[in-house]
Amino acid sequence: MSEYGKLENIPTFLTVVAAALIRQDGRFLLQKRPPGKDHAGLWEFPGGKVEAGETPAGALVREIKEELQLDLIRHNSIPAGFAESNRENVRVPIVILLYICRSWLGEPEPVPGAEIGWFSVAEAGRLEMPPLDGALLKQIAARTDLSLMP
Ligand SMILES: Nc1nc2c([nH]c(=O)n2[C@@H]2O[C@H](COP(=O)(O)OP(=O)(O)OP(=O)(O)O)[C@@H](O)[C@H]2O)c(=O)[nH]1
């Protein structure tokens, strides 16, 4: 195996995908992490880690189905930005890829113990969220159609 091949197999960061599921009124879905997980009690975008062999878009479809029982329509998930943790402060840095989705099939049903809500950018800014979500929220807020909502 070439040196390049070996380096490819050393994970230097975790890739996480997350969705801003935006309703027609401009509010988007956040979920409160259940007790017992990392960041328990904080509000965040639904999503999770990309697994070996998956593409980010494929992982997003799987996570949204697992967490909310929703079917995403793949080409309707638009890359919207990303956030990365600062390598010095964490054991394994993560990079979160955020997608905007405006259509899906089904009604969201959270897993037992999780709570969901629909929020504007301004409302989400008053919630307790993990540190990287502040950066993701700013990227959503840069979209004028969403930033003007109370
Ligand atoms: N889904 C999601 N994860 C986030 C966000 N912000 C953020 O820091 N994270 C972190 O990214 C990581 C994602 O892991 P996860 O626990 O959701 O992933 P998963 O569903 O694959 O979890 P599992 O390992 O329990 O199967 C966690 O450390 C989580 O706290 C966010 O907005 N959405």
pLDDT of residue 5: 60
pLDDT (0 to 100) of residue 35: 82
Q: Please give the CATH topology (third level) of the domain spanning 12-144.
A: Nucleoside Triphosphate Pyrophosphohydrolase (3.90.79)
CA gap 29, 21 in Å, rounded: 6
ipTM of the complex: 0.93
Q: What is the 62 CA–ligand 1 centroid distance (Å)?
A: 14
Burial class (CB in 10 A: 0-12, 13-18, 19+), 138: middle
Most confident of 30-39, 51-60, 90-99: 51-60
The 10s digit of each residue's pLDDT in 6-33 is 656 677 889 999 999 999 999 999 999 8
Mean of the per-residue pLDDT values of the chain: 89
Name the band, by pLDDT with cuts 50, 70 and 90, for residue 76. Answer: confident
Query: Distance (Å, rounded) from C-alpha 115 to C-alpha 47?
Result: 14
Report the nearest atom of ligand 1 relative to the CA of 51: 21
Q: Does 2 have pLDDT greater than 70?
A: no
What are the C-alpha distances in Å from 22 to residues 10, 45, 72, 92? 36, 11, 12, 30
Per the model's pLDDT, the better-predicted residue between 52 and 150 turns out to be 52
Predicted pLDDT at 113: 84
Smallest CA separation from ligand 1 atom 25, residue: 37
Q: What CA–CA distances, in Å, run from 33 to 46, 83, 89? A: 9, 19, 22
DSSP string, 50-116: PPTT--HHHHHHHHHHHHH--EE-GGGEEEEEEEE--GGG-SS-EEEEEEEE--EES---PPTT-EE
Q: Whose CA is nearest to atom 11 of ligand 1?
A: 16
pLDDT of residue 150: 67
81 Cβ inside 6 Å of ligand 1: no
> What is residue 3's predicted lDDT score, i.e. its pLDDT?
56
